[in-house]
Amino acid sequence: MKPNRSSKNHVSWRGITLLECLVYLGAVTVILSLSTAAFYRCMDNAIGLRRNADDIVRALKAGERWRDDVRAATAQPKLEQTDAGWVLAIRHGDSEIAYQFVTNALLRRAGSGSSWAVALERIKSCQVMPEQRQHVLCWRLELELDAHRKGPRLQPLFSFQAVPTRLQDK
């Protein structure tokens, strides 16, 4: 039904249209606000996922380097307890590579006179232990990374095992 321009309902008809526009504007504002909040939540989750993936890659590279050092050992590695924690000394011919865990970092030293270099940062805990298998002595490095968030969905735990393969005859 078309409104008659000369009738009194003409003013109320414009008012209803204006009211509908305000309702639509409010609905669009709510939808845009919710979609913006969802976008930023997804972006934060993507940043967290990338950060966790980078931590996993760093831990795998450090663990593989430790495994390479243990495999290339020419003598059985020696685990020593010090005031600062443990030190694993790995003999490579005439030189020695050492690993040490200090507060939140795994350190590596190539050569007895050189300084310690950071092999892996942001570590919650780290342990090195020998395990006697049937005929070999296996070494295990266990790492727990420090989580970026409270209550992570996945606990960042890693376990690396290696056996010295180039031991010299006793």
Residue 58 pLDDT > 80, yes or no?
Answer: yes
The 10s digit of each residue's pLDDT in 138-152 is 999 999 998 766 655
Query: Residues 27-45: pLDDT tens digits?
Result: 999 999 999 999 999 999 8
| Tens-place pLDDT, residues 88-111 | 999 988 899 999 999 889 999 998
Q: What is the DSSP string of 84-120?
A: SSEEEEEEETTEEEEEEEETTEEEEEESTTSPPEEEE
Residues in the chain: 170
Q: Percent of the chain at pLDDT above 70?
A: 85
Q: Is the pTM of this model over 0.85?
A: no
Environment class of residue 5 by beta-carbon count within 10 Å: exposed (0-12), middle (13-18) or buried (19+)?
A: exposed
Which residues does 54 contact at the CB level (< 8 Å), separation at least 6?
none
Per-residue pLDDT reduced to its tens digit, 113-135: 789 999 999 999 999 999 998 88
- Counts of helices then strands in the chain (DSSP H, E): 1, 8
| pLDDT-based confidence at residue 65 (cuts at 50, 70, 90) | very high
From the number of C-beta atoms within 10 Å of its C-beta (0-12, 13-18, 19+), residue 104 rates as middle
Which residue, 157, 161, 121, is CA-closest to 141? Answer: 161
Instruction: Give 3-state DSSP helix, strand, coil % of the chain, rounded to 5.
Output: 35, 30, 30
Place of tokens 């003598």: 75
